[in-house]
Amino acid sequence: MMNLSEPAIAVRDLRVVRGGVEVLHGLTFEVPRGQVTGLLGPSGCGKTTLMRAIVGVQIVTGGQVTVLGRPAGDPSLRRMIGYSTQNPAVYRDLSVVENLRYFAAVLKAPKSDVDRVIEEVGLSSVAGQLGGTLSGGQLNRASLAVALLGSPELVVLDEPTVGLDPVLRQELWRLFQSLADRGVTLIVSSHVMDEAARCQRLIVMREGEILADDTPHELREHTRTTDLEEAFLRLIEERTAA
């Protein structure tokens, strides 16, 4: 079922218009399987729209998005993709366990998955608490836990580490890496540059365009800086100079 030779995601000339304005201007790139790919860029650069297009919930104006060998949004993909939005999409009037039990039933994931994902995101101590009583970071992790239910081949996470303390962030990045080691493809968006170093591949975006699509190492070489924040600035300078 897993064909490692073909990319997990292939995007060709993707255009998206939202509210009469084109927000993605013909993106073309590929995402390799079994790696953590970071989607970086400032707020409003189109990261979320791109992720929505990959998951298949975004109306696209033009271009093709192929996910795991099928067109994005194909019904057969719905059980193979774990997706967590930027705003935690969990029921505030249900406990963490109740939320996960419901989504596990919808995804036809085994019941034992509920305990596993709660453990993985470190919410065991508040598992019985209602969503509405959790802190922002906890709620975010509850939402992330839903995306890990079942055994998705592709996990799309929109800003999963916002508002988390450094220890938790490190733990989550370790979790992402261990998933990738098992062959899962992850796309993780972030506007924090220091998270970029933890990815195997980086797609740097700005104003609906891709500035760079490289490994962190190549990106550093290319921009002749060790700091990714600096690299980002160089990329923008290059663009405006060209």
- Binding residues (CB under 8 A) for another protein: these are 18-19, 55-59, 73, 75, 78-79, 81, 83, 85, 87-94, 98, 102-103, 105-108, 130, 146
Residue 40: how many other CB atoms lie within 10 Å: 25
Q: Least distance (Å) from another protein to the CB of residue 222?
A: 35
CA distances from 218 to 9, 19, 39, 176, 177 (A): 21, 36, 16, 22, 20
User: Whose Cβ is closer to another protein: residue 30's or residue 74's?
Assistant: 74
Question: Largest Cα–Cα distance in the chain?
Answer: 56
Q: CA dihedral defined by 51, 56, 59, 64, rounded to 10 degrees? A: 90
Q: Least distance (Å) from another protein to the CB of residue 24?
A: 13
In 3D space, the residue among 179, 204, 199, 175 whose CA is nearest the CA of residue 188 turns out to be 199
In 3D space, the residue among 132, 97, 93 whose CA is nearest the CA of residue 117 turns out to be 97
User: Whose Cβ is closer to another protein: residue 89's or residue 168's?
Assistant: 89
Q: Least distance (Å) from another protein to the CB of residue 4?
A: 25
Q: Least distance (Å) from another protein to the CB of residue 168?
A: 22
In 3D space, the residue among 125, 179, 173 whose CA is nearest the CA of residue 148 turns out to be 179
User: Whose Cβ is closer to another protein: residue 18's or residue 222's?
Assistant: 18
User: Whose Cβ is closer to another protein: residue 2's or residue 106's?
Assistant: 106
Q: Which two tokens stand for residue 31?
A: 């995402």
Residue 203: how many other CB atoms lie within 10 Å: 23
User: Whose Cβ is closer to another protein: residue 84's or residue 190's?
Assistant: 84
Q: Least distance (Å) from another protein to the CB of residue 129?
A: 11
